[in-house]
Structure 1
Amino acid sequence: MNDQRVAVVGGGSRGIGKAIAVALGARGYAVAVGFHGSDFAAGQVVEEITASGGRAIAVQADVADEDAVAQMFDVAESIGGIDVVVNSAGRLSLSPIADLDLDELDALHRTNIRGTFVMAREAARRVRAGGAIVNLSTSVVGLQFPGYGAYAASKGAVEAMTLVLARELRGRDITVNAVAPGPTATELFLDGKDEATIERLAKQPPLERLGTPQDIAEVVAFLASPAGHWINGQVVRANGGII
């Protein structure tokens, strides 16, 4: 098999996913930058990685579509052996449970639960020994902020499947973990929030700031590296110390 190390990053064109793709590219992985909507944004990520001497390709795929995901992995395997799979594709919807439109609930769960499951299933079939699978959860699963009921429920499912898969891959020398960011300054997080709300959330961690996409990317890159290979079947709450 080709010795080129390859990382597949679902939702790699924006926010935390973009930072993860760039971080893995800087560490020598050829990166398949998965995207659903904007090929322009994905192309910018590819340009950023290649401008620094890395190798990357943009691949369009709806993470909830098993055929599209299989094709994305086919493209990745044409470059080299798949060593890292990160699913950072996600959808956020804020509403009190009593008021949530159930169509929005279905859309959110299609991306966050089905999408993560489809990506994890393909990863379990293709990642080679010594590799890593990392899913993205949220610290809201533990913090239980009002308005996040549907989102937290979907990410609770992500954590459950992550821990089960870690055990199912016994003997394969593949780690499976989840990273659960706290409030992080991305377009997805900042959208619809006023300055007072943002400032209040930034003061919650003892470090008294919002996380950055790079903060989360560094955690993911560590878990994907040989140095992080003894960490397995865990949920890492990367949130600056919010309790």
Structure 2
Amino acid sequence: MQGTTHAVSGFAGGLWVATWSRMAVDPWNELVSGTSLPGLHVLSDRDALLFAAVAAGWAIASDLDTPRSKATRVWGRLSATLTWPLRKVVKHRKQTHYLVLSSLAMAGLVLLAGMYPLAAALVVAWVTGLALTGLDDVLPGDTSHPGTNLTLSAIAGALAYHFSWYPWWMPLAAAVGVAVHIIGDSLTTAKAPRIGGGRWGLGLFSNGTRGESIVFVLLCGAIGYWFVYSIGAAASPLRQLFVS
């Protein structure tokens, strides 16, 4: 899949994971209400959007193993140089594309970074750059320009450091983004790799073909559906058109 489709799929996946989690969390919190058992966090609509944006960024991170990807070029030569050692160690669509292992590894790294304020700020800056680059085709302006992207990413990282912003769900969003990326690749003719060798997937279409365009439209429709049914007061007039 192309970078934009990966990012949009990560955004859609993030929205649905955040929404579906409420179906399990809300009943649990009602069950333990008034007891000594702990309640669980519930993502608000605002947090669900942030979760989705972060997942969108991580959804292109697996392609750091190729020099021509959006992820590698996010900050121009700077990011290409910083990620060069990774590309010397791994092959494209190999180690960074193992569904379970890659998702857990990314979540673990993001969790570890959260233990150190400076590392956490750098992660926020990095995923901001990834999200702005991945979603560039659907965002206003040229957010994929290396200079613009680096400036916005640095601002995000500085604010995260100043306000100690590193939500508990960051590792989960990383895992979701990476998993969605690999599942997306499994739909293409190149498929996704197995750890023991060989590949798995449906092989429905090639990159950049009409099949991918159809997937892109369906993902946008899923995101639109979420906005109509989940945003709340801002979307209530739209919701009434569908439920009345």
User: So what's the TM-score if we normalise by structure 1?
Assistant: 0.29
Higher helix share: 2
Q: Highest CA radius of gyration, 1 or 2? A: 2
Of structures 1 and 2, the one scoring higher in RCO (CA 8 A, sep 6+) is: 2
User: So what's the TM-score if we normalise by structure 2?
Assistant: 0.29
Higher strand share: 1
